[in-house]
């Protein structure tokens, strides 16, 4: 017997014991106990026994005081008789109970008696470990079974169920509980919870109630938990955990066998397979439970060697090790269940080998750990010597675990962290001192660790030192929550729950076992990648949204595992670029391009892009494929430009040029395909030709990721041209209008790959009221005679994007359009009226557009509009005298104006630097999405942190100050060059055509 570690506690215990005996009504019992415990009496030694209990365990002290009759039986007859007496009394009380509530007290009394009897058998060394754990497990199973029987009788009395036999209500009821984990294997530890899965067979149960069978069994299960779990003045019976059932976030506490079978066969995880090795029916209809487990045999025990499953399970164990305190061998504060060399490693050592070969060799299907180790010897997979050592180590660690739990009835597995606590535990174990215990503990842990590591010598490294990241099971691992918090996740419990949901197969991408295994393997690196973005929560939730859209996950996870750099890129996109993240979520196939372009970035040159698109289109089977491939190709390249902006490899000007080249290529290809399709129906008009004109940002090659396209379709044909020569002939005007409509539809239609571009054709003559396709002569006549100043300003950015076939008629048309633009831009103008028109138009735009702040990059005074108006005014003002200045790009035009000495060097430098800054800010802000671009407060934190650094500023505040300073300088130049000089001439300004929409109030955001 152990000595009393706390002599004072022992003395107090004896004093209270004597007082309790004095108050006992059974005087014969009191006298007997007083005599037996005043000195050593019987095989156990009364005084020695109580000294050990009172001096080491407050919990066992309380049990002795509550159950003196059990102490008497222990001293007179031993723990076997004491346990048998407690069980007999409980069964008798259960037979007499008229309702389930009548069982509450007998169950709790029996729990006290059984706990005391088993503790004494353990402490005195009278029972081996297997008998101790079996007694604990059998008592727990009996309690659950008695609760089931009582509750089934209650349900029958209320008319909800029909029972085969009310004397044995469980038999044939179809309602049963599986004992899981240590309960199932009859290895329950002293203060253990009991893990149950409660099921009902709808083909066996006979429900006659008014609601539903499911509601009935849910209610019975909840009542069972309360009957066992609730703490009353008599204590509690068992803490009951139902979270090992199939996907506890989706399934109720009682599950139909049909639904459970479907779940395990489709979504069951490897850790659930391992758990099912120990499962057994413990309560209710045991025959129905046995049938259910027999049906699951192919799921649990696979015929083929399942090394992939072992990798998955072992990755879980390695993640546990990654946490500080679990990774190293120690004594003080070491977790002897989860830590290195602990109980779990011995269990995993056996279970993993069982899962590998148990499908082929039924001898390995032993639920108990020690039996499983012996089976490994019998099947020549383990030497007898190693088996003996592991069994001895298992028994030692389980004994230490029991002593830890007996002190205060706590479900703990962690050794004391201080010297006093270690000394107390050593004393309770009957060891001479803490040093002796520590040496034995270290030797045990090292030995187990060595055997376990040898088994998994070929396992890949975990690849993460962030901490514990365990998402198996159903509840939160406290150390995992701490790790997630350290990684920057603000709601770690919510994140852990979402990850468990992935593992339960709630998304299509996670419904294959291999996908779940791969996810387990990459989870530490994935979470660390999210952490490095500085917006871990944002990145994670967007990844969850992305995952929900995936049809399958194996390929994605395998690619991420093989390409860590791509994992970081994906995390950055998810955290900082919602616009790109949404594109990925809506089209998971884009992820392939993320991988491809990591090693083979696109070349943003016209010839290379045209060749790339033609290679894509070669796979098109029909016109629908053309539309889909055009969208996929364009979106892939937009994604690459967005990542270039995010990484600082592209500034706004380079991004604008790249996106414009992409648009040029895809518009040319679509125009060819649309024309070919159109010709098959309507034929051709002799000697006709068409050309697509780009204006706005497309014309100046400054597109952003969210830009609309400003287009005008110009055609030409002989005045004498008749109808087209196809099966369905059309007159020229209708022919080209219909062709233009087809082109617009091809560009804007929403397909399975999304929309290509939004189109804005209101820069055509007469704005929204004009024809959508215009004959060159009419176009030229309009521009020369009717167009307003703002329309000529728009022409400073106009260019021919493409034709169809390169015919001589088309080449001539394009040359004539370019000549027209040159002629218009080099017209002699009244400089006073030009100034008045430009100034008046800018004032009206300012009146129509309420500016919120400096991040309204276009409309804020001194912003893009002011800069562009300066350029466009100067081009129209001096184009006639200096045609070399006519460049579509504002930055190129500013350089030309400087070189022509129409702007002094300082003015040009200010405007060029502002243009470059605005271009990068506008392009990068678009990564946040169209609606959020003007409000940095709504940007993802990762983008707001990254953008200033890309531009050489430390913070958003510093960048904002720089932006405001730049806008002030540009506004001052606008006043100097346009507004102030225009003052005397404002009366000369034209009255603006209300249909022409010159104020910029369009649906398009990039006019």
Q: Which two tokens stand for residue 783?
A: 């521009």
Distance CA 409, CA 189 (A): 11
Averaged pLDDT for residues 87-94: 96
Distance CA 207, CA 215 (A): 11
Distance CA 319, CA 322 (A): 5
β-pairing, 709-716 vs 773-775, is parallel
pLDDT of residue 329: 79
Q: Which residues of 906-931 are buried (b: 16+ CB within 10 A; e: fewer)?
A: ebbebbbebbebbbbbbbbbbbbbee
Task: For residue 860, give the DSSP letter.
Answer: S
Q: Which two tokens stand for residue 222?
A: 């909840």
Averaged pLDDT for residues 831-839: 93
Over residues 982-992, the pLDDT tens digits come to 988 888 887 65
Residue that the structure tokens 């996870």 belong to: 557
User: Residues for the chain: how many in total?
Assistant: 1007
What angle, 0 to 180 degrees and rounded to 10, lies between the N-to-C axes of helices 68-77 and 46-54?
130
**Average model confidence (pLDDT) across the chain:** 87
Q: What are phi and psi of 971, to 5 degrees?
A: -60, -40
Residue 820 predicted with pLDDT over 90: yes
CB 660 within 8 A of CB 702: yes
Residue 1001 predicted with pLDDT over 60: no
Q: For the whole model, what pTM was predicted? A: 0.63
Distance CA 386, CA 252 (A): 43
Which residues, listed in sequence order, are joined to residue 800 by a DSSP beta bridge?
A: 693
One-letter-per-residue 3-state SS of 675-739: HHHHHHHHCCCCCCEEEEEEEHHHHCCCCCCCCCEEEEEEEECCCCCCCCCCCCCCCHHHHHHHH
pLDDT of residue 327: 52
Distance CA 948, CA 946 (A): 6
pLDDT of residue 937: 77
pLDDT of residue 439: 95
Taking the CB of residue 227, how many other CB atoms lie within 10 A of it?
22
pLDDT of residue 994: 40
Over residues 209-226, the pLDDT tens digits come to 888 999 999 999 999 999
Averaged pLDDT for residues 130-139: 97
Averaged pLDDT for residues 671-690: 92
Q: Which two tokens stand for residue 952?
A: 């050489």
Nearest Cα to Cα of residue 613 among 661, 655, 678, 579:
661
Task: For residue 208, give the DSSP letter.
Answer: -
pLDDT of residue 315: 55
pLDDT of residue 993: 46
Residue 828 predicted with pLDDT over 60: yes
Distance CA 227, CA 229 (A): 6
Nearest Cα to Cα of residue 63 among 4, 120, 140:
120
Q: Which two tokens stand for residue 558?
A: 């395998």
The H or E element that residue 7 is part of is helix 7-23
pLDDT of residue 409: 93
Averaged pLDDT for residues 447-456: 84
Taking the CB of residue 436, how many other CB atoms lie within 10 A of it?
12
Q: Which two tokens stand for residue 491?
A: 């709601």
Q: Which two tokens stand for residue 662?
A: 């992409």
* H-helix segments, 190-285: 213-229, 257-267, 270-276
Higher local confidence (pLDDT), 550 or 912? 912
Q: Which residues contact 864 (CB under 8 A, 6 or more apart)?
A: 857, 858, 918, 922
CB 774 within 8 A of CB 712: yes
CB 528 within 8 A of CB 319: no
pLDDT of residue 543: 85
pLDDT of residue 165: 87
Distance CA 575, CA 566 (A): 14
Higher local confidence (pLDDT), 108 or 531? 108
β-pairing, 759-760 vs 709-716, is parallel
Q: Which residues contact 918 (CB under 8 A, 6 or more apart)?
A: 652, 857, 863, 864, 867, 966
Over residues 746-765, the pLDDT tens digits come to 999 988 778 899 988 776 77
The H or E element that residue 821 is part of is helix 808-825
Q: Which residues contact 238 (CB under 8 A, 6 or more apart)?
A: 111, 140, 143, 144, 193, 194, 228, 229
Nearest Cα to Cα of residue 931 among 706, 729, 629, 776:
706
β-pairing, 194-200 vs 175-179, is antiparallel
CB 914 within 8 A of CB 969: yes
Distance CA 756, CA 945 (A): 30
What angle, 0 to 180 degrees and rounded to 10, lies between the N-to-C axes of helices 606-617 and 652-682?
40
**Which 3 state secondary structure label does DSSP give 255?**
strand
Over residues 378-400, the pLDDT tens digits come to 998 899 999 999 999 999 999 99
Over residues 166-178, the pLDDT tens digits come to 889 999 999 999 9
Q: Which residues contact 875 (CB under 8 A, 6 or more apart)?
A: 796, 825, 885, 886, 893, 897
Distance CA 278, CA 186 (A): 9
Whole-number Cα distances in Å, 262 to 268, 287, 501: 9, 20, 17
**Which 3 state secondary structure label does DSSP give 408?**
helix
Q: Which two tokens stand for residue 516?
A: 């779940």
Whole-number Cα distances in Å, 678 to 667, 673, 773, 800, 968: 16, 8, 15, 22, 52
Please, which pLDDT band fits residue 954 given cuts at 50, 70 and 90?
Answer: confident
Over residues 491-508, the pLDDT tens digits come to 888 888 888 887 777 777
Task: For residue 250, give the DSSP letter.
Answer: T
Taking the CB of residue 487, how many other CB atoms lie within 10 A of it?
20
Residue 305 predicted with pLDDT over 60: no
Q: How far apart are the first and last CA of the chain?
A: 90
Distance CA 517, CA 524 (A): 13
Q: Which two tokens stand for residue 574?
A: 């998810």
Task: For residue 362, give the DSSP letter.
Answer: G
β-pairing, 689-695 vs 709-716, is antiparallel
Distance CA 571, CA 424 (A): 50
Over residues 572-611, the pLDDT tens digits come to 888 888 778 877 777 766 776 666 666 667 788 899 889 8
**Which 3 state secondary structure label does DSSP give 148?**
helix
């Amino acid at each position: 017997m152990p000595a009393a570690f706390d002599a004072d506690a022992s003395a107090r215990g004896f004093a209270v014991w004597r007082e309790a005996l004095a108050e006992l009504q059974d005087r014969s019992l009191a006298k007997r106990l007083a005599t037996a415990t005043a000195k050593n009496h019987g095989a156990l030694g009364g005084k020695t026994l109580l000294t050990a209990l009172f001096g080491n365990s407050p919990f066992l002290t309380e049990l002795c005081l509550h159950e003196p009759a059990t102490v008497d039986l222990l001293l007179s007859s031993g723990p076997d008789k004491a346990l048998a007496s407690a069980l007999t009394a409980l069964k008798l009380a259960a037979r007499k109970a008229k309702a389930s509530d009548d069982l509450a007290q007998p169950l709790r009394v029996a729990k006290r008696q059984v706990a005391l009897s088993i503790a004494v058998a353990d402490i005195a060394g009278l029972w081996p470990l297997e008998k101790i754990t079996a007694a604990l497990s059998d008592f727990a199973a009996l309690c659950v079974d008695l609760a089931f029987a009582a509750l089934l009788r209650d349900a029958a009395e209320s008319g909800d169920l029909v029972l085969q036999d009310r004397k044995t209500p469980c038999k044939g009821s179809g309602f049963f509980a599986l004992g899981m984990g240590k309960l199932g294997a009859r290895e329950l530890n002293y203060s253990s919870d009991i893990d149950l899965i409660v099921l009902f067979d709808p083909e066996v149960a006979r429900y006659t109630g008014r609601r539903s069978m499911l509601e009935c069994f849910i209610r019975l299960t909840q009542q069972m938990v309360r009957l066992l779990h609730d703490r009353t003045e008599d204590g509690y019976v068992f803490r009951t955990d139902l979270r090992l059932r199939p996907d506890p976030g989706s399934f109720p506490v009682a599950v139909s066998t049909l639904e459970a079978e479907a779940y395990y066969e489709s979504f069951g995880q490897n850790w659930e397979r391992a758990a099912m090795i120990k499962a057994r029916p413990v309560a209710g209809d045991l025959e129905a439970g046995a049938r259910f487990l027999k049906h699951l045999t192919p799921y649990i025990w696979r015929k083929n060697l399942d090394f992939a499953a072992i990798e998955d399970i072992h990755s879980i164990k390695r993640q546990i090790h990654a946490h500080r305190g679990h990774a190293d061998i120690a004594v003080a504060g070491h977790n002897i269940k989860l830590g290195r060399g602990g109980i779990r490693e011995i269990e995993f050592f056996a279970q993993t080998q069982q899962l590998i070969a148990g499908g082929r060799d039924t001898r390995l299907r032993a639920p108990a750990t020690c039996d499983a180790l012996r089976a490994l010897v019998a099947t020549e997979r383990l030497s007898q010597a190693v088996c003996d050592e592991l069994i001895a180590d298992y028994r030692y660690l389980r004994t230490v675990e029991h002593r830890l739990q007996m002190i205060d009835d706590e479900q703990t597995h962690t050794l004391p962290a201080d010297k006093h606590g270690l000394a107390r535990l050593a004393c309770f174990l009957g060891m001479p001192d803490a040093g002796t215990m520590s040496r034995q503990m270290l030797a045990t842990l090292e030995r187990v660790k060595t055997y376990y590591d040898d088994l998994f010598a070929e396992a890949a490294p975990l690849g993460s030192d962030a901490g514990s990241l365990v998402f198996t099971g159903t509840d939160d691992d406290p150390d995992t929550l701490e790790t997630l918090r350290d990684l920057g996740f603000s709601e770690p419990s919510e994140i852990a729950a979402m990850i468990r949901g992935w593992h339960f197969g709630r998304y299509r991408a996670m419904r294959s076992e291999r996908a779940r295994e791969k996810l387990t393997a990459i989870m530490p690196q994935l979470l660390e990648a999210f952490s490095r973005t500085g917006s871990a929560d944002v990145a994670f939730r967007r990844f969850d949204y992305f995952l929900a859209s995936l049809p399958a996950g194996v390929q994605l996870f395998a690619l991420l595992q093989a390409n860590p750099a791509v994992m970081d890129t994906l995390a950055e996109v998810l955290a900082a670029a919602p616009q790109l993240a949404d594109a990925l979520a809506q089209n998971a196939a884009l992820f392939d391009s993320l991988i491809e372009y990591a090693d083979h970035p696109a070349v943003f040159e016209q010839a290379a892009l045209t060749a790339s698109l033609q290679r894509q289109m070669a796979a098109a089977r029909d016109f629908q494929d053309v539309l889909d491939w055009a969208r996929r190709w364009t979106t892939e390249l937009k994604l690459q430009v967005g990542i270039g902006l995010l990484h600082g490899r592209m500034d706004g000007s380079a991004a604008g040029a790249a996106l414009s080249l992409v648009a040029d290529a895809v518009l040319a290809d679509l125009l060819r395909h649309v024309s070919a399709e159109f010709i098959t129906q309507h034929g051709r008009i002799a000697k006709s030709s068409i050309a697509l004109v780009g204006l706005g940002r497309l014309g100046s090659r400054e597109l952003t990721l969210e830009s609309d396209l400003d287009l005008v379709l110009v055609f030409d044909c002989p005045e004498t041209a008749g109808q087209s020569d196809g099966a369905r002939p059309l007159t020229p005007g209708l022919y080209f209008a219909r062709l233009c409509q087809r082109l617009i539809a091809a560009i804007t239609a929403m397909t399975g790959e999304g929309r290509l571009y939004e189109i804005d054709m209101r820069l055509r003559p007469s704005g929204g009221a004009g024809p959508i396709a215009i004959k060159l002569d009419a176009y030229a006549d309009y521009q020369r005679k009717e167009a307003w100043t703002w329309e000529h300003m728009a022409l400073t950015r106009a260019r021919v994007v493409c034709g169809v076939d390169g015919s001589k008629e088309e080449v001539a048309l394009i040359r004539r359009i370019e000549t027209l633009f040159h002629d218009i831009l080099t017209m002699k103008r009244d400089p006073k009226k030009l100034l008045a028109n430009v100034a008046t138009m800018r004032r009206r735009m300012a009146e129509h557009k309420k500016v919120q702040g400096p991040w309204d990059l276009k409309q804020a005074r001194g912003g893009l509009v002011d800069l562009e108006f300066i350029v466009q005014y100067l081009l129209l003002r001096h184009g006639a005298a200096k045609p070399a200045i006519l460049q579509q790009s504002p930055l190129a035009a500013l350089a030309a104006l400087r070189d022509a000495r129409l702007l002094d060097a300082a003015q040009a430098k200010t405007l060029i630097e502002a243009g470059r800054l605005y271009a990068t800010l506008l392009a990068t802000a678009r990564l946040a999405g169209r609606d959020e671009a003007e409000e940095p407060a709504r940007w993802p934190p990762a983008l707001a942190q990254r953008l200033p650094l890309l531009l050489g500023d430390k913070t958003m505040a510093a960048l904002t100050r720089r932006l405001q300073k730049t806008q002030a300088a540009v506004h001052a130049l606008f006043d100097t060059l346009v507004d102030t000089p225009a003052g005397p001439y404002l009366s000369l300004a034209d009255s603006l055509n209300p249909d022409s929409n010159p104020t910029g109030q369009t649906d398009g955001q990039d006019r």
